Structure 1
Amino acid sequence: MNYNEIEFTLNGKKVGPTKVPEGTMMIAFLHEYLNLTGTKFGCGAGICHACVILEKTMTGHNTHRTCITGVAAFNGMELTTVEGHARIDVKTQEMTLHPVQQAFIENFSFQCGWCTSGFVNEAVGYYEELKKTPIAKEQLRESIEASLGEHVCRCTGYVKYYEAMETLILSQPELIK
């Protein structure tokens, strides 16, 4: 059996160097090696986007589908899964959700929750990009739909995800130009 040696940053912590069998998909690595099961396996063909995670780049963020991408492709990257967005105060142990996560909860955006991790990661990337490049209010809805439009949700019909993002963004004037 052949192995790949991998090393990257995940949710702010170094992973590796470690050897992983060649061909191991990132979602399997997250679940089986790191016990991070928030990223969901949906279609296994990269279509539903339930499995996306975020990569932090020099210019922003990219999302990657982990069900069709081997763990070796992530070597050297700075990555975030759905588990990496909330913050815990070390003194009080109080958890603070990312504004996107909070907006999804407040707007009852999901039902079964299977697609939620993918939506959260994509939406966090989109939200963070708006901090750098605000959008015109009249383009907001179309922009949200373009950002989240490839994600498949079989329960809610997407409307609540889009509405949550619209409400969140409109509540923060610095994201609108």
Structure 2
Amino acid sequence: MTLSLSLTVNGERHDIELEDARPTLLDVLRERLGLTDTKKGCDRGQCGACTVLLDGRRVNSCLTLAMSADGAAVTTIEGVADGGTLHPVQAAFIENDAFQCGYCTPGQIMSAIGLIAEGDAGTDPERIREGMSGNICRCAAYPGITDAVLDAQTRLAQSQRKSA
């Protein structure tokens, strides 16, 4: 028996046939849709490398059954830039040296976008570190990550003021 899954990923609708209900959202994104920038780190929800936005909320895609996301909107790291223009969080990560090896960076950026959108980042570095604590960086680029989130919030606030 096949199961029908419908997802809107980065603004594009995908209808996917699954042979069973066990594949995770991460596996569907990587293996069925070819969106391999979302990383499989621990595959246990402990590292955050697989973070995506599901209907605007941060989730570990390795713990999310794809079928539970049927009908949802998914945003991956591939969908945050606007053509050749980086998302403000991506630009802030580059300018604040918020990565070293880069493996965790897609999940870190997606988590930062979600944290800012949720309104939980604030301006206190400790609060940001707590909000980003589900994302592990083995290279320990945490000071740059915290600075990037602070910087990105400022960029996004300025952008919103200009467009208002």
TM over 0.5: yes
- Does structure 1 retain, via aligned residues, the 8 Å contact 2:108–2:135? yes
Deviations along 1:36-57, whole A, 9 cap, x unmatched?
100000001110010011022x
Which ranges of 4 or more aligned residues in structure 1 deviate by more than 6 Å?
none
Q: 2:134 aligns with which of 141, 150, 155?
A: 150
Whole-Å separation in 1 of the counterparts to 2:53 and 2:157: 25
Q: Find the residue that maps to 2:100 and give its secondary structure.
A: coil
Matched letter for residue 154 of structure 1 = R
Matched letter for residue 112 of structure 1 = C
Cα distance 1:109–1:78, how it changes in 2: closer, same or farther (>3 A)?
same
TM-score by length of 2: 0.87
Cα distance 1:43–1:172, how it changes in 2: closer, same or farther (>3 A)?
closer
**Structure 1 residue 78: deviation in Å?**
1.0
**Structure 1 residue 173: deviation in Å?**
5.6
Alignment of 1:21-170 (within 5 A): 21-22=19-20, 23-56=22-55, 61-88=56-83, 95-130=84-119, 135=122, 137=123, 140-170=124-154
Whole-Å separation in 1 of the counterparts to 2:121 and 2:102: 29
Matched letter for residue 18 of structure 2 = V
Whole-Å separation in 2 of the counterparts to 1:156 and 1:134: 20
Whole-Å separation in 2 of the counterparts to 1:77 and 1:152: 26
User: What is the alpha-carbon root mean square deviation over aligned residues?
Assistant: 2.1
| Higher-Rg member (1/2) | 1
TM-score by length of 1: 0.81
Whole-Å separation in 2 of the counterparts to 1:82 and 1:110: 15
Cα distance 1:63–1:42, how it changes in 2: closer, same or farther (>3 A)?
same
Q: Find the residue that maps to 1:6 and give its secondary structure.
A: strand
Percentage identity across aligned positions? 34
Q: Which runs of 5+ in 2 are unaligned?
A: none
Whole-Å separation in 2 of the counterparts to 1:173 and 1:41: 32
- Does structure 1 retain, via aligned residues, the 8 Å contact 2:54–2:72? yes
Cα distance 1:76–1:171, how it changes in 2: closer, same or farther (>3 A)?
closer
Q: Which runs of 5+ in 1 are unaligned?
A: 89-94
Number of residue pairs matched? 158
Deviations along 1:17-62, whole A, 9 cap, x unmatched?
x211221121111111111100000001110010011022xxxx31
Whole-Å separation in 2 of the counterparts to 1:53 and 1:172: 19
